Amino acid sequence: MLSDALEDGYLHVAQRRSESALQERVERLFVELRSDVYRYLLSLGLYPPQAQEATQEVFLRLYIALREGKETIRNPKAWIFRVAHNYGLKVRARTAWEQPYDPEVAARLADPEITPEMSLLERERARRFHQAVENLSVQQRRCLLLRLEGLRYPEIGAALGISASAVGEFLRRAIARLRSLTDA
Amino acid sequence: MPDGPLLHPDEGELLRYADGELSFWRRLRLRRHLAACWQCRAALAELERTIGECVRYRRQVLARCVPEPPEPWFDLRRRIEQWEAERAEVSLARRLWVRLAPGALTPQRLAVAVVLAALVWAQATLILRNREAPRPAPVEAAPAPAPLASPPPRAEPPPASPRPKATVAGPSAAPVEMATAGDELRVFALLRRLGADLGEPVEVSRQGGRVVVAGTGVSPEVERRLTAELGTAPRITLRFAAPASEVPPPAARGVVTAELRPETARLLAGLEQQLGGRANAEQALGELLEANDTLLAHLHALRRLAERFPPEVEAQLAVSERRLLAGLLAEHGAGAAALAASLEARARTLFAPGSLAAVESFPGVGVSWQEAAAELLRLARGAESRLATMLEGAATEESPGAPVREWLAELARLRVETEAFRRRFAE
């Protein structure tokens, strides 16, 4: 009886430690990646409050998924962007009557207070590059943005619901279009 | 050479290489190709430059020119603890249900259950009221795909790489005499003498009564010597395209990080253990590929001779020209036989130490040297694809060594056939 109680106690302590370690891990990921996820959600057309709430939701879901252990998460970053992408699209679908959010990057780029260290020439170059990215097809742009976040082709494919080879093709086309700009 | 080891990768493959998305086998092949090909190294450098622009765009524009989140970020730890508390409540309710459910529900048990349910409901309501945001929905097991109307076409032609203007040397006057097969043969003999028929991208053909020797990215030394030897020769036209002006250094080893398939990883682990480290294993594989490529180059050269000098053309050659052709066959035949034997021995040392080479004899090569040359190239390509299969990790769990055994068997056959060719046609 006593040994059972002791065993229960040890298990409880071990479980608490494991929970605490998991919480710390997810918290670290949250601090490290939340801005990237937030920006990606803005690129899907979510308004800043929606994007911020969705970002927080995604990390809470990550904790729940890891805690319940119902699915194997080999690469948490890829998982986070996949869930963010799907969740972001659902949020957009719920508010489809609204225009997608436009962060007006070009206008901000031109503002010397936001980018004080950039020369006029650099600003113009960045503006043209941004315009070229905006002119990519939706899938090309999403593949490019997710690749910029460090996701591999199969992970991007899993997030967007396409094959890894299709990701490669979208990226090839995107890079080819952007290259014509850098060559100019 | 149209279909040998010199095939240039397309832009998509270069991008996958830069992104570490190529298989181990393709990565090794491409790395070797890049070490030799200025054109492709320049193309890779252009890709890397654009990738660099993208990274700069992320850092300078995306990270700074989008609005900040409107509120401070929430306290994730607190949210997690709330969820844990809620989960504990749900878990308690479930345990109670398990206790109550098995037997018949007596009035007393029912009363206890109702009271407990009311308590749980009240507690849950309290927690829900305290929460600032709604409880997260269960995690999606699978993402909602954004389906494509149709997969992107893969057959899109690769963008035309900037081709430098061709320089043409040779007499500008109209030819007074038509070039013969003998003239063409002498060009092949010269290429052999310069070592430019094994790997250099030089094409020889007869067009409009002239022998045209053309190449893009030919090494400067070979171009210089070909021009010196053939520049003023009658009935010969030289066409060389200059290589790209900006040549980046070869891609550094270890740039790519494609994950290995388990079977390939096992194979490499065995090699690493045997040779004392990953670098040694990769070097040994590189040497194996080098031998394989040189063997293929000899066999390509043989096949090219077979295509340019079929029996009916061969029959029209003068005696001295036939002797010249026989000399070329002898050189390539001997080279191929020696390389096939060395490749098999090296492969056995690496992948099946202690095993004995197959000694059985195979049926003789084809009736003519032209057919035999084509058959040898087919065999060598088969062995190469077997090696690719092996390094791609296509072995099954049931017989993990099968591709290795099959590859060694193909190498043994190649050794026997090339030796037979050498004895029959190249001595």
ipTM given for this complex: 0.86
β-strand partners of B215:
B202, B240
Q: Do A168 and B21 touch (CB under 8 A)?
A: yes
CA separation for the pair B54, B2 (Å, rounded): 35
Q: Do B69 and A26 touch (CB under 8 A)?
A: no
The three-state secondary structure class of B34 is: helix
pLDDT digits (tens, 9 = 90+) for B95-126: 666 555 555 556 666 676 677 677 767 776 76
Q: Do B21 and A70 touch (CB under 8 A)?
A: no
Tell me which chain B residues have a C-beta less than 8 angstroms from the C-beta of A179: 46-47, 49-50
Helices first, then strands: H and E counts in chain B:
13, 4
Phi, psi of B206 (to 5 degrees): -110, 125
What domains lie within chain A, and their CATH numbers?
1-100 (1.10.1740.10)
CB pairs under 8 A between A and B: 162
Q: How far is A2 from chain B (nearest CA, A)?
A: 23
CB-nearest to B57 from A130, A153, A163 is: A130
pLDDT at position B45 is 93
B179: nearest Cα among B208, B155, B200: B208
pLDDT at position B145 is 38
Q: Which residue of A has its CA nearest to B153?
A: A169
- Higher model confidence: residue B258 or residue B130? B130
Name the range with the highest mean pLDDT among A76-80, B172-176, B185-189: A76-80
Q: Do A60 and B80 touch (CB under 8 A)?
A: yes
- With cut-offs at 50, 70 and 90, classify the pLDDT of residue B393: low
Torsional sign, CA A107, A111, A114, A118: positive
The whole-chain average pLDDT of chain A stands at 87
Give B 211-250 residues with CB within 8 A of chain A: none
- Higher model confidence: residue A135 or residue A6? A135
Continuous H helices in B131-199: 181-194
The whole-chain average pLDDT of chain B stands at 74
Phi, psi of A158 (to 5 degrees): -65, -35
CB-nearest to A148 from B11, B54, B151 is: B54
pLDDT digits (tens, 9 = 90+) for A115-174: 777 888 888 888 999 999 999 999 999 999 999 999 999 999 999 989 999 999 999 999
Q: Does residue B65 belong to the interface with chain A, where contact is any CB pair within 8 Å?
A: yes
Phi, psi of B364 (to 5 degrees): -60, 165
Torsional sign, CA B14, B18, B23, B29: positive
Q: What is the CA radius of gyration of chain A?
A: 21
Tell me which chain B residues have a C-beta less than 8 angstroms from the C-beta of A12: none
- Cβ count near B402 (within 10 Å): 14
Q: Is the pLDDT of residue B284 over 70?
A: yes
pLDDT digits (tens, 9 = 90+) for B314-341: 888 888 888 889 999 998 999 999 999 9
pTM higher than the cut 0.80: no
CA separation for the pair A81, A59 (Å, rounded): 10
pLDDT at position B271 is 82
Give B 81-120 residues with CB within 8 A of chain A: 83-84
β-strand partners of B206:
B211
- CA within 13 Å, CB half, B259: 5
Which of B16, B51, B71, B80 is the best mutation test for A, with the most CBs of A within 10 A?
A: B80
- Kindly report which listed range (B25-29, B279-283, B393-397) carries the lowest average pLDDT score: B393-397
The three-state secondary structure class of B367 is: coil
Instruction: Work out the percent of chain B whose per-residue pLDDT is above 90.
Output: 10
Mean pLDDT across B145-164:
38
CA angle (A136, A140, A144) in 5-degree steps: 105
- Kindly report which listed range (A91-95, B192-196, B295-299) carries the lowest average pLDDT score: B192-196
Domain extents for chain B? 1-68, 88-100+110-133, 166-241, 260-425
- With cut-offs at 50, 70 and 90, classify the pLDDT of residue B293: confident
pLDDT digits (tens, 9 = 90+) for B343-380: 888 888 888 776 666 555 555 555 788 888 888 888 88
pLDDT at position B165 is 38
